[in-house]
């Protein structure tokens, strides 16, 4: 997808790459496709299908996008980005890129990889969530894996439709409404071989719907994988204090500031990528206190256990939280 994981302030992309815009073109209304290449024409590091690339678009600001192109020693990295008029400016920056410009990016990070032992890959994309699905399709073809694709998009707003059709042939089903997706996908979910895995990427309501349908059809949770766009706008939340259990240091977390931002502000290095509760990169262990989980990464069981938090979006219930830091 253009998994547009929009991030706010943060560290720059470390140990990354300086790449040149080789191509920038409009795919369909509101979606821009950008290809980035090594300025000296060298092959780029290979990546796992479904990986993201973090793009520095301003000092201390970066967004992560799913890679859509070939994954083995590619001669370019390709991303497709939907313009978010209400975002922080990262998608606008990408849309304004022109060939020849230099862009600083991370090395690709895997977050939505195919399960190599799966007997069949059922790939479900919604809107710009098609981007990692495209990467999965390329890999499935490369390795001769069994797959099929369901792609839901609004009229004239489908990115990569022709390319997917050429790659998938009759293994691609396109629909334009949630009802049509349910009508075509549910019978397929009900008739899958043992060992099939389903991968969903798209808006949160679609992911929740697919999760419900898989449950109703008896799919084991371990065979259902998803990647969402992010939690969307979240309320500021009440202030609280985080205690670092190993040192006793107390870190105030004001309303409107994430726990992750508060930790980084105090010089405590917490790995992070999406800052939208999606990628799992920032996961921390919790020793005490109750958590208001607002992420889409932890499972319901993990949330219920209360021993992990995604500090980029989640907060304390009450005024205290003790971290295993
Ligand atoms: S940084 Fe991705 S889940 Fe927190």
CA of 162 to the centre of ligand 1 (A): 33
Q: What residue ranges line ligand 1, CB within 6 angstroms?
A: 272-275, 277-282, 295, 297, 310, 312
Better-predicted residue by pLDDT, 88 or 160: 160
Burial class (CB in 10 A: 0-12, 13-18, 19+), 113: middle
14 has a pLDDT exceeding 70: no
Instruction: Please report the atom of ligand 1 found closest to the CA of residue 271.
Output: 1
Pocket test for ligand 1, best of 294, 310, 315 (most atoms within 8 A of CB): 310
Question: Residue 188: pLDDT band by 50, 70, 90 thresholds?
Answer: very high
Instruction: Please report the atom of ligand 1 found closest to the CA of residue 274.
Output: 2
Max intra-chain CA distance, the chain: 60
What pLDDT score does 12 carry?
39
Q: What's the rounded mean pLDDT across residues 143-147? A: 96
CA-to-CA distance for 8 and 5, rounded, in angstroms? Answer: 10
CA of 90 to the centre of ligand 1 (A): 17
Q: Could you tell me the domains of the chain?
A: 5-105 (2.40.30.10), 120-228 (3.40.50.80), 240-323 (3.10.20.30)
180 has a pLDDT exceeding 80: yes
Q: What is the pLDDT of residues 70-97, one digit of tens each?
A: 999 999 999 999 998 877 788 999 999 9
Share of the chain above pLDDT 70, in %: 94
Q: What is the pLDDT of residues 230-253, one digit of tens each?
A: 555 678 899 999 999 999 999 999
CA-to-CA distance for 101 and 56, rounded, in angstroms? Answer: 13
Better-predicted residue by pLDDT, 54 or 284: 284
What pLDDT score does 279 carry?
76
Q: What is the pLDDT of residues 125-139, one digit of tens each?
A: 999 999 999 999 999
What pLDDT score does 298 carry?
84
Residue with tokens 């979006």: 313
CA of 56 to the centre of ligand 1 (A): 17
Q: What's the rounded mean pLDDT across residues 201-212? A: 91
CA of 205 to the centre of ligand 1 (A): 20
Question: Residue 168: pLDDT band by 50, 70, 90 thresholds?
Answer: very high
Phi-psi region of 60 (alpha: psi -120 to 50; beta: other; left: phi over 0): left
């Amino acid at each position: 997808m253009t998994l547009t994981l929009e991030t706010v302030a943060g560290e720059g992309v470390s140990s990354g790459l300086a790449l040149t815009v080789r191509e920038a073109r409009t795919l369909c209304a509101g979606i821009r496709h950008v290809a980035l290449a090594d300025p000296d024409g060298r092959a780029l590091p290979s990546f796992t299908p479904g990986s993201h690339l973090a793009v520095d678009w301003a000092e201390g600001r970066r967004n992560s996008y799913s890679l859509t192109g070939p994954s083995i020693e590619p001669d370019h990295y390709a991303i497709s980005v939907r313009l978010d008029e209400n975002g922080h400016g990262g998608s606008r920056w990408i849309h304004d890129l022109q060939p020849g410009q230099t862009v600083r990016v991370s090395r690709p990070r895997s977050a939505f990889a195919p399960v190599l032992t799966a007997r069949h890959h059922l790939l479900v994309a919604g809107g710009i969530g098609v981007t990692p699905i495209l990467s999965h399709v390329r890999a499935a073809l490369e390795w001769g894996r069994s797959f099929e694709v369901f792609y839901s998009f609004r009229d004239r707003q489908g990115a990569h439709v022709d390319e997917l059709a050429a790659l998938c042939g009759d293994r691609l089903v396109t629909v334009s409404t949630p009802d049509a997706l349910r009508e075509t996908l549910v019978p397929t979910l009900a008739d899958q071989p043992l060992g099939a895995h389903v991968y969903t990427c798209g808006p949160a309501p679609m992911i929740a719907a697919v999760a419900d349908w898989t449950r109703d059809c008896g799919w084991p949770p371990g065979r259902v994988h998803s990647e969402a766009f992010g939690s969307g706008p979240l309320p500021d939340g009440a202030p609280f204090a985080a205690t670092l259990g190993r040192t006793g240091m107390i870190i105030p977390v004001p309303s409107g500031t994430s726990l992750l931002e508060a930790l980084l502000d105090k010089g405590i290095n917490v790995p992070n990528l999406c800052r939208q509760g999606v990628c799992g990169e920032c996961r921390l262990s919790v020793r005490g206190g109750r958590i208001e989980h607002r992420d889409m990464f932890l499972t319901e069981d993990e949330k219920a256990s209360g021993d992990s938090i995604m500090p980029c979006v989640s907060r304390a219930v009450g005024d205290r939280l003790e971290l295993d830091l």
